[in-house]
Chain A
Amino acid sequence: MAAGGAQPILEIRHVSKRYRAARPLFRDVTFEVLPGEFVYVTGPSGSGKSTLLRMVYRAETADTGSIHYFGKDVLALAPRAIPFLRRNVGVILQDFKLILDESVYDNIALALEILGLPPREIYDRVRQALDRVGLAGYEDIRAEDLSGGEQQRVAVARAVVTRPSLVLADEPTGNLDAGNAAMVIDLLEEVNAEGTTVLLATHDNMLIAARPHRTVALVDGLVDEITRGRAVEDVRYAGAAQEAPQP
């Protein structure tokens, strides 16, 4: 149970993953995310940030442990239930994952088509989402004709248009310049301010320092919770000080 008595929206408990027998990616990762929180997952490249996020929407499985989303263990979900989990999780990836030969409108509407909403509602919601990300009037433009920053804003619009309870953002600013990166983080903070929980994976220490939020670090295969204001560089030190993972 988290402080203050609120039920966590996401509980990650003792999760371990190894791709190679001799070297675990991470082990015994345990932390909670409360509703409405904005949480960074950080750590060096290869520390398993993306893998951990992929586990939350069951694009990946764990070797041990559990991940409870709204009290339900997503790692134990039957394959047929996975699509329904994903409908309540917005996902933003570093490479945007847009359908490049389709229009901005179609890219965003896709998430709503899956829900089977009526065309009128789809139209209204897509327009609202585009307004929110500052791309009103871009409906008919093909995704491939947009800049990287614009593409990522379309990806944000697609992730939030279904009004999910949780948005997972995996290095959303990794391919963007500073200006566009700031714009995307602004958007995610706005979404978060409206009550959506955001879990953002990044190895960008400057971003974490500039936009402080609760941070969970994966270092040397172990997790380290950092509170707001603590220097990110300390994480590496703290992680190194812990017992090294056993092969």
Chain B
Amino acid sequence: MNHLGYYLRRTLQGFRNEWGTNLATVLTLSVAFILVGALVTVAVSLGRQVERWGGVDQFQVTAYLQPGAPPGAADQLRQALSGMSEVRAVRYVPGDEARKRLVDAFPEERDAWKSLDSSFFPGYVEIGLDPDRADEAHYRQLVGRVERLSIVEQVETHGDWYTSVLGIHRAARVLAIALGSLAIFATVFVVSHTIRLNFYRRRRQVEVLRMCGATPWFVRIPFLLEGLFGALLAAGVALGAIALFVEAVRGRLVDVAPVLGNSPIQHLPLVAWGVFLCVAAAIGLTGAWVSVREALRA
């Protein structure tokens, strides 16, 4: 603990003395983090759209039951779908509730809806899908299975929409993972080279430290902290920039693409912030560790 003050002082001094190199590194890292963060934001937002379209509030697959279907028809349907892991929820909506929903959705037509007999609104079953499991093949299989049931009169799907959004969501996720992995390698490389450069510029200092009895850790820690703080700073800049961007475009997207709902683009969740900062810290420490280890051996 006696050395903590020294380490922090040396780290700040290193940042200040090599400010040009460090600034360039932080900006480079920020750009890489912004790219990855933006892609993660898109993936998260698309995930929410998929949830929204396939979620419990707006079921993607609607099965209309035959007129005069027995009261236990919904249970029969549920049983038929019980083995399918992509089915998240099966819920029966009776005719009265169907009418109420219509009234709520189009209040200006309230009187017209109310004038109709409740038998005009057939009961139906909403089938919610798990967006993480339901790909297009599962989706078609599910629709086929429901259509074959004798108690079902008609199946309404939003398949094209759903599968398109699902496809984009998956592509964004894959791209985010691929780009993220690439960014990790690239940023470790950038941090490593920056710290190596700083190390060689402070060669004299390292020689003096070793001559005076500094342990390798004593020499190493300020450089590790430089890598750590640089990467965390870059991650902070990137997260801040992404948050500002989301805030700025969210309102406009609602106007431009109302089909995407009230929240077309999402802020990264806190967990993602935490993961982002942890990964950045690991990148900073790894990059610095690699370069200092090599330099101390030389």
A72-94 interface code vs B (CB 8 A; 1 in, 0 out)? 00000000100111111001000
Contact A117 B2 (CB under 8 A): yes
Also in contact, A86 and B207, with CB within 8 A (given A101-B17, A114-B218, A117-B2): no
Contact B212 A99 (CB under 8 A): no
* Number of A-B residue pairs with CB-CB distance less than 8 Å in the complex they form: 52
B189-223 interface code vs A (CB 8 A; 1 in, 0 out)? 00000000000000011011111111110100000
B202 CB → nearest A CB, Å: 8
Chain A residues with Cβ below 8 Å from B204 are 97, 99-100
Q: Whole-angstrom distance between the alpha carbons of A85 and B212 in the complex? A: 9
Q: Which of A57, A97, A115 contacts B208 (CB 8 A)?
A: A97
Taking CB atoms and an 8 Å cut-off, the chain B residues in 29-88 that contact chain A are: none
A82 CB → nearest B CB, Å: 8
A224 CB → nearest B CB, Å: 29
Chain A residues with Cβ below 8 Å from B209 are 110, 114
Also in contact, A114 and B213, with CB within 8 A (given A101-B17, A119-B5): yes
Contact A114 B212 (CB under 8 A): yes
A85-126 interface code vs B (CB 8 A; 1 in, 0 out)? 111100100000111111000010011011111110000000
Chain B residues with Cβ below 8 Å from A88 are 213
A158 interface hit (Cβ, 8 Å): yes
Chain B residues with Cβ below 8 Å from A117 are 2
Q: Whole-angstrom distance between the alpha carbons of A27 and B92 in the complex? A: 98
Contact B205 A99 (CB under 8 A): yes
Contact A114 B2 (CB under 8 A): no
Chain B residues with Cβ below 8 Å from A231 are none
Contact B2 A118 (CB under 8 A): yes
B207-248 interface code vs A (CB 8 A; 1 in, 0 out)? 111111111101000000000000000000000000000000
A2 interface hit (Cβ, 8 Å): no
Chain B residues with Cβ below 8 Å from A136 are none
B6 interface hit (Cβ, 8 Å): yes
24 A-B pairs (CB sep. < 8 Å)? A57-B211, A59-B211, A83-B210, A83-B213, A83-B214, A83-B215, A83-B216, A83-B218, A85-B213, A86-B213, A87-B212, A87-B213, A88-B213, A91-B212, A98-B208, A101-B17, A102-B205, A110-B208, A110-B212, A113-B6, A114-B214, A115-B213, A118-B2, A119-B5
Contact B208 A84 (CB under 8 A): no
B1-13 interface code vs A (CB 8 A; 1 in, 0 out)? 0110110000000
Q: Whole-angstrom distance between the alpha carbons of A86 and B208 in the complex? A: 11
Q: Whole-angstrom distance between the alpha carbons of A88 and B212 in the complex? A: 9
Q: Whole-angstrom distance between the alpha carbons of A111 and B214 in the complex? A: 8
B187 CB → nearest A CB, Å: 29
Q: Whole-angstrom distance between the alpha carbons of A102 and B204 in the complex? A: 11
Q: Whole-angstrom distance between the alpha carbons of A107 and B209 in the complex? A: 10
Contact B2 A86 (CB under 8 A): no
B217 CB → nearest A CB, Å: 10
Contact B212 A86 (CB under 8 A): yes
Taking CB atoms and an 8 Å cut-off, the chain A residues in 50-67 that contact chain B are: 57, 59
A201 CB → nearest B CB, Å: 15
Q: Whole-angstrom distance between the alpha carbons of A101 and B213 in the complex? A: 21
A188 CB → nearest B CB, Å: 18
| Inter-chain pairs besides A102-B205, A114-B212, A115-B213, 6 sampled, C-beta below 8 Å | A83-B214, A86-B210, A86-B212, A113-B3, A114-B214, A119-B5
Contact A84 B205 (CB under 8 A): no
Contact A91 B211 (CB under 8 A): yes
Q: Whole-angstrom distance between the alpha carbons of A98 and B213 in the complex? A: 15
Taking CB atoms and an 8 Å cut-off, the chain A residues in 2-43 that contact chain B are: none
**Nearest A residue to B205, CB-CB:** A99
Q: Whole-angstrom distance between the alpha carbons of A87 and B213 in the complex? A: 5
Chain B residues with Cβ below 8 Å from A118 are 2
B162 CB → nearest A CB, Å: 62
Chain B residues with Cβ below 8 Å from A113 are 3, 6
**Nearest B residue to A116, CB-CB:** B2
**Nearest B residue to A79, CB-CB:** B216
Chain A residues with Cβ below 8 Å from B210 are 83, 86
Chain A residues with Cβ below 8 Å from B205 are 99, 102
Q: Which of B3, B17, B211 contacts A116 (CB 8 A)?
A: B3
Chain B residues with Cβ below 8 Å from A115 are 213
